[in-house]
Structure 1
Amino acid sequence: MKAYFQTDQGRVRPHNEDDGGVFYNRTGQLLAIVADGMGGHQAGDVASQIAISFVRDKWEQTDGFNSSAASETWLKEILEEANTALLAHAQNNEAYAGMGTTVVAAICTDGFIAVAHIGDSRCYMLTDEGFGQITEDHSLVNELVRSGQISKEDAEHHPRKNVLLKALGTEKDIAADTQSMTWEWDNKLLLCSDGLTNKVTDEELSSFIQKEQDLESVSNDMIELANDRGGEDNISLVIVHHDTATEEGEA
């Protein structure tokens, strides 16, 4: 199994409020995660860093998961704990009051994936049946689309497009949405912040993710396109490729 994480400040923001990575537990199972922080005075980057560090440290101390149900439960519980940690940090540091972060995470094993998310950072999946988003944005415009009040096309240019309905660290009781599914050899996952999806269409993402290039080159190309189209936001992504042949040491 191959995975690659990349983050870019973009061309406008003074600093990078995104964070993420690819981490392994004691049995070598993979966790991919992306977080997009928010809050003034660099509180956003603090929020995303705290969330990623918290989840990474806990993940690296865990043993392997044999079921998707156990994986989903772990993700839910660990994000609840991370939420508590963020709230405590903000309470003890006035400069960080109101900070928060989106998060999307995926536990990837040979037989299944388990995905959790809060906010509008997304997870997409490529299978033999096609490419598509498997998470639902916790955003105002997505709720307007779901309720039939506006179209998907209207949502792209809605003045309140960036309003989130849920974010880690913003309220005491918050729960991640979780799901799990089987996946097979040559399937791929894409986890990303909205700095990518606000600039690159799903059709373009699909085209990129199906390229036979190495994951680093594909990531570079996607980020370059987002930057060429303005790069107003930070851009982060993880690509995971279920490539068991490579995992077994074959070229």
Structure 2
Amino acid sequence: MRFEVLTDIGRKRTVNEDGAAVYTLPDGTLLAVIADGMGGHRGGDYASRMTIRLMGEQFMNIQLDQLKTDEDWKEWLLESVFYVNRYLFNKASADEQYKGMGTTLDAVLIRGSDCQIVHAGDSRVYQLNQKDVKQITKDHSYVNVLLENGEITEEQAANHPQRNWIMKAVGSERRIDPDLYEVDLTEDTFLLLCTDGLSNKLDEQTIHKIIHADGTLREKVVQLVQMANKMGGEDNISVILIGPDDMEVKQP
């Protein structure tokens, strides 16, 4: 798999509270992590930055001979998130300037065609192929609860005054129960991780069109971010795009 990472402050913010990174092991195992911090400029920036760093440190220190099955990797992924959650929660509890901080988190672990995803918050992971795009993760947001209960429409959700209220975040409580997804990757699969600075601005049709247009992975992530900024850029924008080694995109 190939990948590109891009994070942008946007057009209105003075601090980038997003974080994004991809780590790889010698055997080709890949971990992609994206986070959108909250809790004031200092707290939000710290929460996302430390989440990316701690997930990466744990991943790069893995002893591959100790992780042999899918269950082993799933346990490692969840335990890593629990560790980060404890770290941030304890930091916020001990230091007043970090009180109330937290972060969204999406971590994608890829081993061959096997993909495991851990998710908390309203950042997203999309799976794309030549024909369609699918949002894998479910937003942990107040607006999404209203939407699922049929209390508001999609149009109302897009403009709801509480659309940024998060129901689950890493570091905001002593314990966290993240969602876990498993996906089988095919030779034409793209995975897109993004913060809501992108997903609030670009619909799925636009995302699919950009990713399946001619161009390199780098050109695609740049265009995604540029488009979100063109649509207003009120928030930080972060994108990780993972694609097949054969980057020839055939139009459907």
Q: TM-score, normalised by structure 1?
A: 0.93
- Asked if structure 2 preserves the Cα contact closer than 8 Å seen for 1:106 and 1:115, the reply is yes
Correspondent of 1:191 among 193, 200, 209? 193
Amino acid at match of 2:49: Q
Change (3 A) 1:242 1:109: farther
Change (3 A) 1:203 1:191: same
- Structure-2 residue corresponding to 1:84: 86
- Structure-1 residue corresponding to 2:158: 156
Work out the CA distance in 2 between the residues paired with 1:10 and 1:36: 13
Work out the CA distance in 1 between the residues paired with 2:117 and 2:27: 19
Correspondent of 2:73 among 68, 71, 74? 71
Q: 1:43 Cα shift?
A: 1.1
Work out the CA distance in 2 between the residues paired with 1:187 and 1:158: 33
More displaced, 52-61 or 66-75? 66-75
What is the 5 A alignment of 1:168-183? 168-183=170-185
Q: 1:171 Cα shift?
A: 0.4
Q: 1:67 Cα shift?
A: 4.2
Amino acid at match of 2:123: S
Work out the CA distance in 2 between the residues paired with 1:7 and 1:41: 16
- Structure-1 residue corresponding to 2:106: 104
Specify the SS of the correspondent of 1:170. coil
Q: 1:26 Cα shift?
A: 4.7
Work out the CA distance in 2 between the residues paired with 1:211 and 1:70: 38
- Asked if structure 1 preserves the Cα contact closer than 8 Å seen for 2:17 and 2:41, the reply is no
Q: 1:41 Cα shift?
A: 3.9
- Asked if structure 2 preserves the Cα contact closer than 8 Å seen for 1:112 and 1:180, the reply is yes
Cα RMSD for the two superposed structures: 1.5
Aligned length: 245
Work out the CA distance in 1 between the residues paired with 2:80 and 2:161: 33
- Asked if structure 2 preserves the Cα contact closer than 8 Å seen for 1:33 and 1:105, the reply is yes
Whether 2:18 is the aligned partner of 1:8: answer no
Work out the CA distance in 2 between the residues paired with 1:237 and 1:132: 16
- Structure-2 residue corresponding to 1:213: 215
Amino acid at match of 2:32: A
- Structure-2 residue corresponding to 1:249: none
- Structure-1 residue corresponding to 2:238: 236
- Structure-2 residue corresponding to 1:131: 133
Q: 1:89 Cα shift?
A: 1.5
Work out the CA distance in 1 between the residues paired with 2:6 and 2:41: 24
Identical amino acids, percent of aligned pairs: 37
Work out the CA distance in 1 between the residues paired with 2:209 and 2:179: 27
- Asked if structure 1 preserves the Cα contact closer than 8 Å seen for 2:15 and 2:41, the reply is no
Change (3 A) 1:56 1:178: same
- Asked if structure 2 preserves the Cα contact closer than 8 Å seen for 1:68 and 1:180, the reply is no
- Structure-1 residue corresponding to 2:145: 143
- Asked if structure 1 preserves the Cα contact closer than 8 Å seen for 2:47 and 2:101, the reply is yes
Specify the SS of the correspondent of 2:12. coil
Amino acid at match of 2:119: H
Correspondent of 1:115 among 114, 117, 131? 117
